[in-house]
């Protein structure tokens, strides 16, 4: 009978954030595949986990995946961990998990910390709909172009950023999204120097320049989505009325729908009702 693949989330700073279930799985599995064995030593030592550890990172992912899969097919239980947080969230593991499904291997997630969710939960920005973009490009031109594509995105935007690029990134965001768009900077989450600041992009930019927000450690940047503009019924009717001077009622309603985002049938009914008044 084949074993299983466990995807185990580990702390993003504060080691006490590990779950009981994570410790149990890491103790009882046959092998831990870790992004960086030296980095994980501290965590494993702290919880007296003596399981064998093997390095599994982006450089050996392709060649090691089939070996690990074969071991699971042979009955072994393998746990995947990354340096911090949830594996596969901007970390290695995608190839292994996909290969597990192709080989009918059971994949068992052990949930726990992830910087994206931790930051969102304390961001003070809308969290019901969000998009996670990971790291932006290190190249200024590509980064700005990418941000420009997100100008009218109404969902909250979440990014990971490195300390040496945080100032440039916030400046680019201010140029693209405008000074008043709100942003939350979540730095060193769960660690001693944790800092979470919600303010406008221009205010956060100033706080970074005057070091009120320290440019050190790990960062999550959360940007408020664009405000959705809703067109009033009066505006819809006005557009439809102008277009009706040149077009048939059906064509006018169709074009009004495209311009305003209101459903074609609704525009048609509204216009019909207005004409009877
Ligand atoms: N797998 C991890 C997770 O679930 O969050 C993310 C790994 S990614 C390679 C590392 C990035 O996550 C950092 O550069 C930073 O942007 C963010 N990050 C990780 N730990 C953090 C922390 N304690 N505070 C703020 N950001 C953190």
Q: 160-179: b or e for each residue (b if 16 or more CB lie within 10 Å)?
A: bbeeebbeebbbbbbebbee
pLDDT at 234: 86
Q: Whose CA is nearest to atom 11 of ligand 1?
A: 160
pLDDT at 24: 98
Q: Which residue has the higher pLDDT, 240 or 119?
A: 119
pLDDT over threshold 80, residue 176: yes
Q: State in Å: Cα 154 to ligand 1 middle.
A: 24
Write out residues with Cβ below 6 Å of ligand 1: 12-13, 82, 84-86, 89-91, 114-116, 160-162, 186, 188-191, 218-220
Once rounded to an integer, what is the mean pLDDT over residues 8-25?
Answer: 98
- State which of 43, 84, 157, 213 you would mutate to test the pocket of ligand 1, scoring each by most atoms of that ligand within 8 A of its C-beta: 84
Task: Indicate which atom in ligand 1 lies nearest the CA of residue 88.
Answer: 1
Once rounded to an integer, what is the mean pLDDT over residues 128-140?
Answer: 97
pLDDT at 117: 98
pLDDT at 274: 86
The predicted-structure confidence for 41-69, as pLDDT tens digits, reads as follows 999 999 999 999 999 998 899 889 999 99
pTM for the structure as a whole: 0.85
**3-class secondary structure for the chain?**
CCCEEEEECECCCCHHHCCHHHHHHHHHCCEEEECCHHHHHHHHHHCCCCCEEEECCCCCHHHHHHHHHHHHHCCCCEEEECCCECCCCCCCCHHHHHHHHHCCCEEEEECCCCHHHHHHHCCCCCCCCEEEEEECCCCHHHHHHHHHHCCCCCCEEEEEECHHHHHHHHHHHHHHHCCCCEEEEEECCCCCCCEEEEEEHHHHHHHHHCCCCCCCCCEEEEECCCCCCCCCHHHHHHHHHHHHCCCCHHHHHHHHHHHHCCCHHHHHHHHHHHHHC
| Residue 226 φ/ψ, nearest 5 degrees | -70, 145
Q: State in Å: Cα 84 to ligand 1 middle.
A: 7
For the chain, percent of residues with pLDDT exceeding 90: 87
Neighbours of 122 (CB within 10 A): 16
Nearest to 33 by CA among 89, 118, 25: 25
Task: Indicate which atom in ligand 1 lies nearest the CA of residue 85.
Answer: 4
Rounded-to-integer distance, Cα 52 and Cα 49, Å = 9
pLDDT at 27: 98
Rounded-to-integer distance, Cα 151 and Cα 146, Å = 9
Once rounded to an integer, what is the mean pLDDT over residues 231-256?
Answer: 90
């Amino acid at each position: 009978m084949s074993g299983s693949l466990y995807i185990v989330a580990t702390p993003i700073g504060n080691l006490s954030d590990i779950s009981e279930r994570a410790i149990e799985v890491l103790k009882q599995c046959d092998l831990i595949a870790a992004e960086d064995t030296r980095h994980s030593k501290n965590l494993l030592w702290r919880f007296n986990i003596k399981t064998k550890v093997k390095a599994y990172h982006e450089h050996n992912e392709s060649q090691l995946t089939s070996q690990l899969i074969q071991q699971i097919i042979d009955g072994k239980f393998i746990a995947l961990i990354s340096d911090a947080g949830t594996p596969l969230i901007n970390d290695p593991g995608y190839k292994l998990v996909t290969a597990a499904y192709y080989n009918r291997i059971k994949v068992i997630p052990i949930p726990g910390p992830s910087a994206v969710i931790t930051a969102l939960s304390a961001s003070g920005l809308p969290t019901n709909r969000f998009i996670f973009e990971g790291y932006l490009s290190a190249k200024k031109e590509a980064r700005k172009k990418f941000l420009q594509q997100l100008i009218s995105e109404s969902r909250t935007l979440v990014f990971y950023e490195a300390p040496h690029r945080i100032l440039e990134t916030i400046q680019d965001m201010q140029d693209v999204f405008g000074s008043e768009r709100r942003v939350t900077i979540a730095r060193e989450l769960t660690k001693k120097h944790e800092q979470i600041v919600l303010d406008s992009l221009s205010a956060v930019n100033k706080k970074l320049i005057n070091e009120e927000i320290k440019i050190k450690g790990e960062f999550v940047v959360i940007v408020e989505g664009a405000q959705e503009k809703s067109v009033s019924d009066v505006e819809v009717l006005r557009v439809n009325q102008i277009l009706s001077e040149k077009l048939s009622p059906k064509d006018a309603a169709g074009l009004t729908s495209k311009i305003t985002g209101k459903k074609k049938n609704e525009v048609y009914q509204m216009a019909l009702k207005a004409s009877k008044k």
